[in-house]
Amino acid sequence: MCGIIGYVGNKSAVQILLDGLIRLEYRGYDSAGIATLADSQFHVLRRVGRVESLINAAGEADMAGHVGIGHTRWATHGVVSEKNAHPHQSFHGLFSITHNGVVENYESIKEFLLARGFTFESETDSEILANLIEYHFNKETDSENRFLKSVQKALFHVRGTYGLAILCRDCADEMVVARKSSPLLIGVGEGEMFVASDVSAIARYTHDIVYLNDGEIARLTPADFSITTLRNESVDVVKCELDWQIEDADRSGYEHYMLKEIFEQPRALENAMRGRFSDDLSTARFGGLRMTIRELRQVDRILFCACGTAWIACLVAEYLIEKYARIPVEVEYASEFRYKNSPLDKNTLVFVISQSGETLDTMAALQEAKRKGFRTLAITNVVGSTIARESDGGIYQHSGPEIGVASTKAFTAQICVAAMLALYLGRIRDMSFEEGVLFVQALHDLPNVVERVLAQKDSIEKIAEKYAHHNDMLFLGRQEMFPIALEGALKLKEISYMHSEGYPAAEMKHGPIALVSEKCPCFFLAPQRSILQKNIANIQEVRSRRAKVIAVATVGSELGEKFVDDLIPIPEVHPALQPIVATIPVQLFAYYVAKFRGCDIDKPRNLAKSVTVE
Ligand code: M6R
């Protein structure tokens, strides 16, 4: 979704801004722009489409200045056009702003400003902010803090969400930034300061990061920064050290980030497990839950909330925790939970899962649960993200940066953490030592098993080629393979635009079977031995309706080539870990189908990496 980069320092800003925008591309956007400030003049450049066209245009433009802001826009208010792209200038040209988020009361503010002679160039809610700030600036009497104060005053009238980076024509070498429910961080350099909505935009310049909290506003100069609240109260500044290198966010020779991240899974799984086993290797342990064993034993129910692929990871967690820890689990879409006012038992523990840690609905679900007095824990990948900071405790996935819009390594790491959680909660209840040891052993072997499935990439590519021309596909699986069927369908539709649905295999007979024909192949996730015959029966049902069948099955299982058109064998593993291993083929399948269809795999249409609007 929208991205922000800003710079104040002693270097030419334009290259830093463009480089930052390239790094933000993966978040999804439809237009981009930059503004620099030099000799009390703004130089503004905006383009529809890729950052590349902005870079080409910048080569021919005069973009002098050691101060600047840049933006990638994902349209909410107003069509995709150059005029609606950021940065926006205020009516008299005093301010230039970039804004992430939505100003909910923009119409009333606009009327207020129109009545006072302001006019507007764009259809966006963001432009009104530039004008509202200018309005307050013209009235501000505190000449020393005029810029900061006018932003503070303007923001008092704003309802909605914002991450803002603002320049003032009359205040060279200064930038004001502010945040409310839209991520923003400051990068501290030597004689230079950066601001960004995502750390990847500035990671090559500094590893000293300060995350802004909601309601905070900061003033940046090349030498320093200060943070206050909108009411000018002082704020304790917490600096963090970035724990990954910029090389981690490069493609390293892979054609797409998605492919690279699929292949990083053995390492990501190792990272998710590192240091998290007990000395007797019979259970897991977590440093950040901030709950005693006694408190955990008192949990009667767990509620998981998330969006998209992270929501699917919650469904896997439900199967695993119910099976191995015997605790009832419910799963809710975060966007539904936040407005639903569900009755929850007193001893309910609320977990949210979010790769980015910034998904707005997930954040809101977390806040709603907290408001009602429930203990909230989070499984997140991004250290220092809003969700990580706002939850009462949690578990970091340590997957490294995930750049491809389609979540891959973050998903399997989330399931891995969920499996370890099931083990941990099981062992403090009634799972035996022996079961625990076998579970830990299986987790230990998991990266190797995943490596073996990845080695089948060429044969999966061939299968994908056979099916890439279809318009529809069903993904079917039972029990903990049902979520993997959902994930297979989600991956395929989001990157290849092939219509696909995931269903519990038996549920298929209650409606979707009407779609089944030679034109609608079925992808079965069927590695479980205990319910093999049930899956085979479902396979026969679709085959007798002329559907082609692809199946993921355990090596040596009865589900051989005589039942299916294309077989993807996976190694036998502990049943708790089958969802992870079975995910690899559906990821590779979706990737290659998208490639054969000529799709823009890392930047699928209309999608954003981190969804920071409702
Ligand atoms: O950052 P999050 O895990 O909170 O993101 C949630 C979803 O937006 C995300 O999983 C989305 O569904 C992915 N594009 C799926 O590949």
pLDDT in tens, 434-443: 999 999 999 9
CB atoms within 10 A of CB 445: 14
Residues 131 and 16 in one domain: yes
Q: Is the pLDDT of residue 111 over 90?
A: yes
Residues 345 and 427 in one domain: yes
Residue 308 lies in a domain: yes
Catalytic residue among 110, 180, 548, 609, which? 609
The pLDDT, as a whole number, for residue 27 is: 77
Is residue 599 part of the annotated active site? The answer reads: no
Residues with CB under 6 A from ligand 1: 307-310, 354-356, 359, 362, 405-407, 494, 607, 610-611
CA distance 34 to 234: 31
CA distance 488 to 454: 16
Residue 418 lies in a domain: yes
For residue range 326-337, what is the model confidence (pLDDT) as tens digits? 999 999 999 999
Nearest in space to 7 (alpha carbons), one of 267, 186, 138: 186
Residues 226 and 321 in one domain: no
Q: Kindly give the number of the ligand 1 atom that is closest to the alpha carbon of 607.
A: 14
Domain end: 242, 260, 285, which one?
242
Residue 103 — pLDDT band, cuts 50, 70, 90? very high
End-to-end CA distance of the chain: 12
Domain count, the chain: 3
Q: Where are the beta strands (DSSP E) in 189-230?
A: 193-196, 208-211, 216-220, 225-229
Residue 613 lies in a domain: no
Residues 212 and 252 in one domain: no
For residue range 443-480, what is the model confidence (pLDDT) as tens digits? 999 999 999 999 999 999 999 999 999 999 999 999 99
Residues 412 and 464 in one domain: no
The pLDDT, as a whole number, for residue 78 is: 83
Q: Kindly give the number of the ligand 1 atom that is closest to the alpha carbon of 355.
A: 3
Residue 609 lies in a domain: no
Domain end: 189, 215, 242, which one?
242
Q: What is the mean pLDDT of residues 520-538?
A: 95
Residues 302 and 155 in one domain: no
Quote the ligand 1 centre to 107 CA distance (angstroms). Answer: 31
Q: Kindly give the number of the ligand 1 atom that is closest to the alpha carbon of 308.
A: 12
Quote the ligand 1 centre to 66 CA distance (angstroms). Answer: 36
Residues 395 and 531 in one domain: no
CA distance 176 to 127: 16
Residue 233 lies in a domain: yes
Residue 60 lies in a domain: yes
Residue 2 — pLDDT band, cuts 50, 70, 90? confident
Quote the ligand 1 centre to 492 CA distance (angstroms). Answer: 14
The pLDDT, as a whole number, for residue 356 is: 93
Quote the ligand 1 centre to 309 CA distance (angstroms). Answer: 5
Residues 541 and 592 in one domain: yes
The pLDDT, as a whole number, for residue 19 is: 95
Nearest in space to 205 (alpha carbons), one of 226, 228, 189, 222: 189
Q: Kindly give the number of the ligand 1 atom that is closest to the alpha carbon of 362.
A: 4
DSSP-derived 3-state class of residue 555: coil
Residues 6 or more apart whose Cβ sits within 8 Å of residue 424: 283, 284, 285, 286
Q: Is the pLDDT of residue 31 over 80?
A: yes
Residues 310 and 426 in one domain: yes
Indicate which CATH number applies to the domain containing 477.
3.40.50.10490
Residue 314 lies in a domain: yes
Alpha helices in 31-182 (DSSP H): 51-60, 106-114, 127-139, 146-156
Helix axes 433-454, 265-273, angle to 10 degrees: 160
For residue range 548-588, what is the model confidence (pLDDT) as tens digits? 999 999 998 888 888 999 999 999 999 999 999 999 999 99
Quote the ligand 1 centre to 353 CA distance (angstroms). Answer: 10
Q: Is the pLDDT of residue 484 over 90?
A: yes
The pLDDT, as a whole number, for residue 547 is: 96
CA distance 367 to 33: 33
Domain end: 214, 242, 270, which one?
242
Protein residue with least CA distance to atom 16, ligand 1: 406
Residue 603 — pLDDT band, cuts 50, 70, 90? confident
CA distance 273 to 507: 35
Q: Which of 261, 611, 613 to probe ligand 1 with, by most ligand atoms within 8 A of CB?
A: 611
DSSP-derived 3-state class of residue 356: coil
Indicate which CATH number applies to the domain containing 190.
3.60.20.10
Residues 432 and 526 in one domain: no
Q: Which domain holds residue 464?
A: 456-604
Contact indicator for 40, 172 with CB cutoff of 8 Å:
yes
Q: Which of 307, 362, 491 to probe ligand 1 with, by most ligand atoms within 8 A of CB?
A: 307
Q: What is the mean pLDDT of residues 416-425?
A: 98
Q: Kindly give the number of the ligand 1 atom that is closest to the alpha carbon of 410.
A: 3
Nearest in space to 9 (alpha carbons), one of 59, 65, 63, 86: 65
Higher pLDDT, 605 or 280: 280
CB atoms within 10 A of CB 548: 19
The pLDDT, as a whole number, for residue 215 is: 94
- When computed from its CA atoms, the radius of gyration of the chain, rounded to whole angstroms, is 26
Residues 184 and 196 in one domain: yes
Residue 611 lies in a domain: no
Quote the ligand 1 centre to 610 CA distance (angstroms). Answer: 7
Residues 425 and 475 in one domain: no
Is residue 603 part of the annotated active site? The answer reads: no
CA distance 251 to 260: 7
